[in-house]
Structure formats: C-alpha cells, structure tokens
Amino acid sequence: MWQLNLPDLEIDWKKLTDVLTYDPQQPMIFSSGLFLWLFLGFSLIYLLLQRKTTARLLFVSLFSYYFYYKSSGFYFFLLGIVTVSDFLLARWMYRTETSWKRKLIVCCSLCINLGLLCYFKYTNFFYEMLAPLWHGTYHPLDIFLPVGISFFTFQSLSYTIDVYRKDLKPLSNLLDYVFYVSFFPQLVAGPIVRARDFIPQIRQPLYVSPEMFGQGVFFIVSGLFKKAVISDYISVNFVERIFDNPGLYSGLENLFGVYGYALQIYCDFSGYSDMAIGIALLLGFRFPINFNSPYKADSVTDFWHRWHISLSTWLRDYLYISLGGNRKGKIRTYLNLFLTMLFGGLWHGASWNFIVWGGLHGVALAVHKYVRSLLGRAKNYRSTGWKRFFAVVLTFHFVCFCWIFFRNTTFEGSATMIRQIFTAFHPELAGQLFTGYWKVFLLMGVGYLLHACPDRWQEACSRGMIRLPLVGQALVLILLVYLVMQVKSSDIQPFIYFQF
C-alpha cells in the first residue's frame, strides 16, 4: 500500500517575527513583497467586512496603525496624539461661539501639530544655528524623524482650520476621524487629502465598480513602473554617482545627471501617489490627482498647479491666504508668495538647501505674477505654438536648476555641479557617455516620452485596462512585477518623500 510521507511543516517563528516587526533598515513600502502579501490577506478580510461598516473601519484603522508601525516603529503613538487632540479640539471649537476662545483653541491645535513637527524635524537645525551664539559646540541630538510626520500633521491641521473657519462640521465619531487621518494608502507620503473631500466617503456603502477596479489597477501599474523601474534604476546606476562626486564628471555628465534627477524625483513622487490612488480605488475610495504632467508647465505658476497638487493647494489655502494672499496690495502679494514657498521649502527638510530651493521658486512666482500684470494677461492666459514650446523649455530648465539645490546637501556640491556644467562641458564625451549608460538613457527616454504624451493617451490606456477581464489585469500586473525583478537593485529603494 502506498504511503505518502509529507515533510513536517515547521514555521521559523523567529524569522516570522523579524519580518513582521519594525526594521529601521527596511520600512514597509508599496513596492515591497511583504506589503503585497499583507495586502492580499488584508483584502480578504476587508471583503468579508463589506457590509459591516464599523467593523470594517476599525479593521482598516488597526491595519493602518500597523502599517505606520512598520514604517516608524513605536513612534506610531504620535499619530494617536495628533488624532485624538485634534478631534477633541475641533468638537470643543464647534461648540464655542466666542471669537477669542475659538482662536485660542485653533492655536492649541497649531501648537500641538507644529510643535511635534518642529521638535522631531527642526530641533537640530535650529540648535546648529543658535549654538555659536553662546559659543557652544554643536553636537546633533539623537532625534528620530518619524516617517510621514509632515503629511499627517498637515492633514489633521486642515481639518481643525476648516472647522475654525466654519467650512466644515466636526465629526462626532472618533473612529471616523481615526480612519481619516490614518488611512494607510496616503499616510506616510501623501497625497494630503482634505477632510471635506474624504469624510463624506467614510460611511458610504462599500462599492467598487468595474471602472474603479480597472482604474485602480492602472494607477498601481503606472506607479509601480515609474518607481521601481524608471526611478530606482536611473537613481542607483547614474544619478547617485553624479551627485555624490560632481567634480569627477564633465559638465555634460552633470547636466544629464540633473535631467536624470528631475525624472527620478518625478517618477518617485508621482509613482507613490499613483499607487496610493490605485489602492484607495480598490478599497472604494477616491483621492484627487496629485501630479499632472508638471514638466509640461509653461510657467512656474503652472508648474505648481501641476506638481504635488495636494501640497501646493494646502500651502495656498492655509498659509498664503492666511498671510493675506493678494488682498493687501501688489508688494504684499509678492512677499506672501515668497514667504509661502520659503516655508514650503523648509517643510521639505531642515536644511538650508531646501530653503534656497523654496526661495528660488518664491522669487520666480513673484516675478512671473509681476510680468503677467505688466503684460495685462488674464489669470487663465496660455501661450500657444512656438511661444509655448520655448516657455515650457525655459520653465523645465529653471525647475532643473532648482533641483540642483534640492538634491545636493551642501552648497559646495551645488556650486561644483553648476561650475562643471558651465566651464567643463566637454561635448566630445557624448559618445562614450551614451555607450556606457545606454540602459539608463533608454529608460530616461521612455520616461520623458511617456510624460510628454497627450493626456488622452493616458485616458485611453486607463479605459483599455478597465475593459480587460480580471485575468488580463492580473497578467499585466504579473508581467510588471517580473520586469521589476529584472531591473531592481539588490536593496529596495525607499520613496524620497519618506524623509519629509
């Protein structure tokens, strides 16, 4: 009689524990294998809870907190502090009619959110600046920067400020607010979703139409391709080498290093946003588009209407307008634009290079607004033909120039790169450069061509994905995963925005 002997199935509990606990060297990201497996298990339970709204919201919130734990360890308690304090303050503010009390309450929210952000992100920056005043020696404090703290504090602040402005009624259920602030697709790197856009969706019956599912798969495929194929490959194999030692390379190599970084940062940022939007669609929620072909912009103003839209609109609505916007005369308007972008640069990181980057964009926005007023052009004016072509080229190169300061951690590195481009260009090296890095330039060409495609092409691809049967959609995703495995580096590259 035949006897089938199965090997004993032994689970390495230590290894499993190591995988499921926080690892500072391997934060969980959408493009990792661990997230894929966890999301599959999550989706099964999510479907089982389809008709049990409260249980589903609680389950997603717990998973979101675990997701944040896998990104920042036990600092997930900061997320809880921000959530509970703003929920209670908003309810208190709504019940208060006295103007000065409402201002005091919203100031408490500002102090809690910005206080946490300033401590974890800017303590060492200000300490380094102030240390010489008392003739002290600067020794950086060992302060951990929780992933995504800039995003969830801004998102929660938008809620309390909207309640203060009476644009929004506060939630009465703490679980709903926990769900809103911690929803994992956008938790650690955006987009910054406004309460007035997201909260009405929370208690809606869960329904994912075939159109939403197909769009979700399309956004996930698009984002994964941008991040794991284009951004990671050109970063590891070209861009990092140039920026780490710009003095060792010719001006031509430095220039293409800048072009490479412009594409890398776009594919990294928009790739995460695309995946977040896609995952949210699969779960029955809609996020606003966060990037709209920014390198097609024909002015710096147009660029900021297309680049990281959730951040630029947040800065406009809660900082620029609060400073007075364009209501206090032209000079004040230009100053407000400059200050808004200066703070926007500081938001990206506690370093002078980010402040310079923001300041350059602030000056450019003010200059563009001034020139447009001199020419008497309407707000919605758009150049056409050759004028638009040259305006797009000029805007793109200004943005690339600013990326030099954004990417380099020292002004010496930025100065070296600019000096090499203008004094040691050496175009005769083009043949060697393109031969040695042909794979990099092939991917860069693909990336820029896809970016330059008309919007209707992307819409056609999205409709094509929607029409595909489920098996076809799964096959596209499998083929992309296989492509990612072929081009990926030995280590998973974290998203750039994780540092912000």
Q: Return the higher-pLDDT residue of 124 and 244.
A: 244
Per-residue pLDDT at 496: 60
Q: Is 292 helix (H, G, I), strand (E, B) or coil?
A: coil
Cβ neighbours for 266, distance < 8 A, ≥ 6 positions apart: 226, 291, 294, 295, 451
Which of 161, 176, 202 terminates a domain? The answer is: 202
Q: Which of these ranges, 41-45, 85-89, 185-189, has the smallest mean pLDDT?
A: 185-189
Q: Return the higher-pLDDT residue of 9 and 168.
A: 168
Q: What is the mean pLDDT of the chain?
A: 88
Clarify whether residues 467 and 438 are in a common domain.
yes
Whether the ω angle into residue 454 lies within 30 degrees of 0, i.e. cis, is no
Residue 344 lies in a domain: no
Q: Kindly state the average pLDDT of the residues 122-141.
A: 79
The vertex-334 CA angle with 329 and 338, nearest 5°, equals 145
Residue-wise pLDDT tens digits, 436-458: 999 999 999 999 999 999 888 88
Residue 219 lies in a domain: yes
The pLDDT of residue 17 is above 60: yes
In which element (H, E) is residue 464 found?
A: helix 455-467
Q: Return the higher-pLDDT residue of 257 and 472.
A: 257
Show the tokens assigned to 84: 């509970």
Clarify whether residues 245 and 393 are in a common domain.
yes
Closest residue by Cα to residue 257 from 409, 414, 491: 414
Clarify whether residues 260 and 131 are in a common domain.
no
* Amino acid in position 48: L
Question: Residue 6: which pLDDT band, with cuts at 50, 70 and 90?
Answer: very low
Clarify whether residues 255 and 111 are in a common domain.
no
Q: Which of these ranges, 9-23, 193-207, 475-489, has the smallest mean pLDDT?
A: 9-23
* Active centre residues (catalytic): 348
Q: How many angstroms separate the most distant Cα atoms in the chain?
A: 96
The pLDDT of residue 327 is above 90: no
Clarify whether residues 197 and 224 are in a common domain.
no
* Amino acid in position 232: D
Closest residue by Cα to residue 230 from 497, 499, 484: 484
Clarify whether residues 287 and 267 are in a common domain.
yes
Residue 120 lies in a domain: yes
Residue 17 lies in a domain: no
Q: Where are the alpha helices (DSSP H) in 131-250?
A: 149-164, 174-182, 195-202, 210-224, 232-234, 240-244
Per-residue pLDDT at 270: 92
Residue-wise pLDDT tens digits, 373-419: 888 776 667 777 888 999 999 999 999 999 999 999 899 999 999 99
Contact 317, 339 (CB under 8 A): no
Q: What domain range is 120 assigned to? A: 25-202
Residue with tokens 């995003």: 151
The pairs formed by 435-441 with CB atoms below 8 angstroms and a separation of 24 or more are 437/237, 437/238, 439/233, 439/237, 440/233, 440/234, 440/237, 440/238, 440/260, 441/256
Per-residue pLDDT at 12: 66
Question: Residue 5: which pLDDT band, with cuts at 50, 70 and 90?
Answer: low
Per-residue pLDDT at 59: 95
User: What are the b/e assignments for 128-152, b being 16+ CB within 10 Å?
Assistant: eeeeeeeeeeeeeeeeebbbbbbbb
Residue-wise pLDDT tens digits, 459-487: 898 889 888 888 888 888 888 877 777 77
Clarify whether residues 224 and 275 are in a common domain.
yes
Other CB atoms within 10 A of residue 435 CB: 9
Per-residue pLDDT at 126: 85
Clarify whether residues 126 and 191 are in a common domain.
yes
Residue-wise pLDDT tens digits, 315-324: 999 999 999 8
Per-residue pLDDT at 75: 85
Residue 326 lies in a domain: no
Rounded to the nearest 10°, the torsion over CA 411, 416, 417, 421 is 140
The pLDDT of residue 500 is above 60: no
Give dist(CA 256, CA 363) in Å, integer.
26
Per-residue pLDDT at 1: 44
Residue 354 lies in a domain: no
* Amino acid in position 265: I
Residue 7's Cβ-count burial label (10 Å; 0-12, 13-18, 19+) is: exposed
The pLDDT of residue 492 is above 60: no
Give dist(CA 176, CA 472) in Å, integer.
36
The vertex-62 CA angle with 61 and 67, nearest 5°, equals 95
Which of 160, 185, 202 terminates a domain? The answer is: 202
The pLDDT of residue 371 is above 70: yes
Query: How many Cα neighbours within 13 Å face the side chain of 161?
Result: 17
> Cα 319 vs. chain centroid, distance in angstroms?
19
Residue-wise pLDDT tens digits, 289-299: 999 999 999 99
Clarify whether residues 289 and 417 are in a common domain.
yes
The pLDDT of residue 9 is above 70: no
Per-residue pLDDT at 242: 94
Per-residue pLDDT at 495: 57
Per-residue pLDDT at 499: 57
Clarify whether residues 81 and 176 are in a common domain.
yes
Question: Residue 2: which pLDDT band, with cuts at 50, 70 and 90?
Answer: very low
Which of 169, 202, 235 terminates a domain? The answer is: 202
Please give the share of the chain, as a percent, with pLDDT higher than 90.
Answer: 57
What DSSP letter does each residue of 67-78 carry, written as one string?
Answer: HHHHHHGGGHHH
Clarify whether residues 36 and 133 are in a common domain.
yes
Closest residue by Cα to residue 337 from 304, 293, 307, 374: 304
Clarify whether residues 294 and 162 are in a common domain.
no
The number of domains in the chain is 2
